[in-house]
């Protein structure tokens, strides 16, 4: 293995470690949010839990789509330029469960960073809650592929 490949493998290991820790934190917030009823009477304590969930969702989805998948492409010596090309190629390589899901996650992540009305936030929280299981599934698929293709424990 070349020095470049060793460096990229080392980077991928670090990213997988970050992704795993982020996944654990996301699961913690996801589990806490399961009992929250999303309506106009939502309290500040529940909003705090949901804000944490949204932040952790954004971080975790970005780690997967912008870091881990890009690094895998470096190891494969493939360099799709556009994000849409990256996610569809990742789906073809069986690195993720669905390109459409990853694109939706990116859209939701972008919505998180902009201010919206309380009603829009409630809708956004619901969408995040709905897609988290698919994010976790893609993370698992990515880890399985990394272990199989690169013999890296993920």
* Helix (H) or strand (E) segment spanning residue 137: helix 118-150
Distance CA 84, CA 103 (A): 7
**pLDDT for 149 beyond 70:** yes
Residue scoring higher pLDDT (144 or 4): 144
DSSP annotation of 43: -
Mean pLDDT, residues 11-38 = 97
Describe the crossing of helices 83-92 and 69-76 by its angle, rounded to 10 degrees. Answer: 70
Instruction: State residue 53's pLDDT score.
Output: 98
Mean pLDDT, residues 127-136 = 98
Write out pLDDT tens, residues 25-54: 999 999 999 999 999 899 999 999 999 999
Write out pLDDT tens, residues 74-107: 999 999 989 999 999 999 999 999 999 999 999 9
**pLDDT for 5 beyond 90:** no
Q: What is the residue-averaged pLDDT of the chain? A: 94
Q: Domains of the chain (ranges plus CATH)?
A: 3-34+41-150 (1.20.120)
């Amino acid at each position: 293995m070349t020095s470049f490949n060793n460096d990229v493998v080392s980077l991928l290991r670090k990213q997988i470690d970050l992704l795993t820790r982020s996944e654990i934190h996301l699961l913690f917030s996801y589990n806490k949010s399961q009992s929250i009823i999303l309506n106009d009477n939502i309290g500040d304590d529940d909003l705090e839990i949901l804000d944490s969930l949204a932040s952790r969702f954004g971080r975790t989805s970005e780690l997967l789509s912008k870091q881990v998948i890009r690094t895998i492409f470096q190891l494969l010596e493939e360099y799709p330029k556009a994000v849409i090309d990256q996610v569809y190629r990742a789906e073809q390589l069986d690195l993720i469960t669905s390109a459409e899901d990853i694109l939706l996650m990116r859209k939701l992540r972008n919505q998180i960073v902009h201010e919206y009305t309380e009603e829009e936030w409630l809708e956004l929280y619901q969408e995040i809650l709905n897609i988290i299981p698919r994010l976790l599934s893609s993370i698992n698929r990515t880890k399985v592929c990394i272990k199989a293709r690169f013999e890296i424990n993920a």
